Amino acid sequence: MSDRGPEGPVDRSGPSGGVPQSGPVTGPGYQSGQAWTAQAPTWGPGPSAGGYGPGGQPPPYMPVPPPAERLRLAVQARANTDYIFSFWTALGWSVLTLGFYGYYVFYQLVRRMRDHNARRLQLFDAALGLAWEEAGRRGLQAELAPSFQRASAHMAVLRDMTGDFREPAIWLVLSLVAGGIAQIIAFILLDQDLVKHDRAEVGVEYELALIYGHFGLGLASPDASRVKGQHNYVGRILATFFSFGIYSLWWYYDMMEEPNRHFRTNWLQEDALLGAVQAIR
């Protein structure tokens, strides 16, 4: 399937096997010769679903859903990516299992941030793609191009974060081998990820509010003050050491609750964005 960029249809189909290519294509907010890089999930049935034709050979490409459908799917996927912790439940199960449940908690702490970032990247990419198409229909592409370009710069930050070393299974193994040292390192990286991720999200949300406002759709501008500051890592490490590990419980609480609040804030914005997209359709 083709998406429409500033100079006409853009081939977004992927190689055989159904994985759309992530590479430079023309897209929202760019002048001729510039590129919008998008990473899309695998669309369409695979061989296990009987989706290939006679002889079991994959077709040359799998159809990519239109932006509105991709946005809906990204919103729907939050039930799988945005894991909400209950600190006291997690603590209770950790005590009852003599600490073994704590490894599951640590695994989920790493996994949910990685998957949440990837999901939000897909959501924003769909929202911007749809907005670019709508701007074309209304003759507003030239006027709104600066907003699309600024949004693209923030999207690049989110996209770069997908390449960070955040494989939860490997971090779990590291925690089994190195114990608390690996967990402290992971806590520092995850806290930095949340700050960096949220700052980029605020930038994209601001531009989306401006763009959709030109379509007569009221999306609230994000509150930039929601971006939290980084933890005092040295202070937390010292507090954990001198409290014989007791302070780590408070650190765990923050690592659970701060992303919880972030996710719930995102959900409100996503619901409003989904409503705006449905109004366009």
Domain residue ranges of the chain, discontinuous segments joined by +: 1-64, 65-280
Look at residue 24 and give its three-state secondary structure.
Answer: strand
Q: Which amino acid is at 7?
A: E
pLDDT band at residue 278 under the 50/70/90 scheme = confident
**CA end-to-end span of the chain, whole Å?**
19
More confident residue, 41 or 204: 204
Distances (CA, A) of 259 to 40, 128, 272: 24, 25, 20
Nearest to 22 by CA among 125, 149, 109: 125
Task: Using the predicted structure, report yes or no on whether residue 195 has a pLDDT greater than 60.
Answer: yes
Phi/psi of residue 26, nearest 5 degrees:
-70, 150
Task: Using the predicted structure, report yes or no on whether residue 22 has a pLDDT greater than 80.
Answer: no
pLDDT value of residue 60: 57
| Sign of the torsion angle spanned by Cα atoms 51, 54, 57, 60 | negative
Question: Strand pairing of 2-5 and 8-11?
Answer: antiparallel
Task: Using the predicted structure, report yes or no on whether residue 28 has a pLDDT greater than 80.
Answer: no
Considering the entire predicted model, what is its pTM? 0.78
Paired tokens of 274: 């989904």
Q: Identify the helix (H) or strand (E) that includes residue 11.
A: strand 8-11
Cβ pair 68, 277 in contact under 8 A: yes
Look over the chain and give the mean of its residue pLDDT values, rounded to a whole number: 83
Look at residue 131 and give its three-state secondary structure.
Answer: helix
Look at residue 36 and give its three-state secondary structure.
Answer: strand
Q: Identify the helix (H) or strand (E) that includes residue 13.
A: none
Task: Using the predicted structure, report yes or no on whether residue 34 has a pLDDT greater than 60.
Answer: no
pLDDT value of residue 13: 36
User: What average pLDDT does this structure show over 235-260?
Assistant: 96
Task: Using the predicted structure, report yes or no on whether residue 30 has a pLDDT greater than 50.
Answer: no
User: What average pLDDT does this structure show over 124-151?
Assistant: 95
More confident residue, 58 or 5: 58
DSSP state of 226: G
Look at residue 25 and give its three-state secondary structure.
Answer: strand
